[in-house]
Structure 1
Amino acid sequence: MNPQLDIFGNSNPSKESRPTELGHSTITYKDSSQILTKTSGFMADYDFSINQYSGCSFGCTYCYAAFFSRNKEKMDNWGKWVDVKENALHLLRKKRKRPLIDKTIYMSSVTDPYQPIDKKLELTREILKELIDYHQVRLVIQTRASLVTRDIDLFKKFQTIQVNMTITTDDEEIRKVFEPYCPSNKVRMKAIEEVQNNGIQSCITMTPLLPVKNPEEFASDLKATGVKRYIIQPFHKERGKFVAGTRDEAQRILKNYNWGTDEYERVLNIMRKSLPQLGEGKDGFAPI
């Protein structure tokens, strides 16, 4: 009988190294057919995306990735399950014969590479090591997790890298409704400030921008992190979708703030005055 292997190919992993439950989420381990995905649509200007996880325990109620779920049960339970691509590192190692020279990679497009399970598994960290040792990629990392600071030492070894931190509102009560399991805004700002202060090119993404109580103060707080680049994108309540759990409360907040095109444009104009390097939509997400 072959010994059981962990996600890094080590034999006889402990239960602690392969948790099946973490917080509110069920964790499963599955093989994937690929780890590098050709990009299209909004991310078409990149060569590949890397998604080492399916699902995301942050469970943002508006997340477009939820609507790619294979069945309604998974969609309705978005945030409560994560599938680990346990052969992700193996698949990337197979690319050593044809190194990814100067390829633009976005990590990640439909999950968060630094969601809580990665603190246990460190799969993202191992993928970064593989990219550093055997490839020369241009990497953009997208997260809303303070765990990203763990890998600052590795970020410094990339020739071209940018770390994006998503911060969508200035109000914690709004954040808790739309992003119920995410770190607070203050925690995220502190994390991206630390990344920036370590000489890593950083960006704050307000994507999508949720209702904002005080745009002037919000812009000032973002600028105080030292980050120089920003991306903003509207959330259209008319086209908004929500997974189960907070639909009614989310719609109430959007209605109370009259959050639509006019209000977004008003806030956008205020933010532009304080944040000159503010990109919008797809153009803002262009590869570095």
Structure 2
Amino acid sequence: MKPIQFELFEPADTKEKRSKLGHAHIAYQQASSILTDGKGALKSFDYTLNPYSGCSFACSYCYAAFFTRSEEEQNNWGYWVRVKENALQLLMKHRKAPMINKSIYMSSATDPYQPLERELELTRSLVQELVKYHQVRLVVQTRSPLVTRDIDLFKQFEAIQVNMSITTDSEEVRKTFEPVCSSINARLKAIREVQEAGINTCISLSPLLPVENATTFAQRLLETGAKKYYIQGFHFSKTKFVSGTREEALKLIQKTDWSDRKFNETLETLRAYLPNLKQLT
């Protein structure tokens, strides 16, 4: 087992902290808590866990942007990340009363495997703490192939599921709505690797963006071996956009004629192929 990297949380004067990664500015904070009671759409979970605030993936439709603390943060969504640098210490406080069989959703308002995680390994330290001292029921939500790095830890859980967001079969669409994210092929390969390691997987088609070929898309999804899928429609007229991509998105929606009719036709094709496809409202 890889040792927990306590050096991540050394005082600022003993470890130089990165202030920027790619387009995103990085800040560090002392969080007051690391676990939040599940509520709303996630009320079936005991807790949600977010190692970071903000997310450098900068998906143009991200709902999390509209739960930020200020209009400035919302307008600059995708260009800032705050590291909860005391997250591990906060989680360690729960050792006195282990959270045996509690359910945790990671994460509800950030991606725990966004680019900064590759070098910080903050999420990894939290997963290691959970499996060693708590044996919770964990759901990991991500769109990053980096999640495969932690397969060794995932395999130690008695109850775990890794969800991979794959919202389209088109690289043109992906580059318009999710320009900083990994390619579709990379995500398909990653979730297949997780599944082949004997870990429960689910593919999130939410929101479903324009699809070029529903039949081929369904076949590619099936090849991952994932056993669960959930899907949600994309309502352009009701969606707020961040990261300055609204005009490009509008042009693409018009080009692909991605209407409710087109979505429903795609949905029916996917249902014919995919087992356990659940539609979210």
Is 2:188 aligned against 1:220? no
Where in structure 2 are there 5+ consecutive unaligned residues?
A: 1-5
Contact 1:39 1:45 in 2 (8 A): yes
1:48-98 deviation per Cα after TM superposition (whole angstroms, max 9, x unaligned): 000010000000000000111222222121111100011111110111111
Question: Where do residues 1-288 of structure 1 align in structure 2 (5 Å cutoff)?
Answer: 7-9=8-10, 13-15=14-16, 18-281=17-280
Contact 1:7 1:89 in 2 (8 A): no
Equivalent AA in structure 2 for residue 157 of structure 1? Q
Contact 2:219 2:273 in 1 (8 A): yes
1:179-201 deviation per Cα after TM superposition (whole angstroms, max 9, x unaligned): 01000000111111111111111
Where in structure 1 are there 5+ consecutive unaligned residues?
A: 283-288
Contact 2:37 2:46 in 1 (8 A): yes
Superposition TM-score, scaled by structure 1 size: 0.92
Report the alpha carbon displacement of residue 13 of structure 1 after superposing the two structures with TM.
Answer: 4.0
Between the aligned partners of 1:98 and 1:138, the Cα distance in structure 2 is 16
Report the alpha carbon displacement of residue 225 of structure 1 after superposing the two structures with TM.
Answer: 1.2
Between the aligned partners of 1:10 and 1:39, the Cα distance in structure 2 is 32
Equivalent AA in structure 1 for residue 118 of structure 2? K
Report the alpha carbon displacement of residue 143 of structure 1 after superposing the two structures with TM.
Answer: 0.4
Contact 1:7 1:87 in 2 (8 A): no
Contact 2:78 2:243 in 1 (8 A): no
Between the aligned partners of 1:260 and 1:108, the Cα distance in structure 2 is 30
Between the aligned partners of 1:85 and 1:116, the Cα distance in structure 2 is 15
Equivalent AA in structure 1 for residue 186 of structure 2? V
Please give the secondary structure, in 2, of the residue aligned with 1:101: coil
Contact 1:232 1:278 in 2 (8 A): yes
Equivalent AA in structure 2 for residue 184 of structure 1? S
Between the aligned partners of 2:246 and 2:142, the Cα distance in structure 1 is 24
Between the aligned partners of 1:224 and 1:125, the Cα distance in structure 2 is 28
1:195-220 deviation per Cα after TM superposition (whole angstroms, max 9, x unaligned): 11111111111111001010000001
- Per the alignment, residue 286 of structure 1 pairs with none
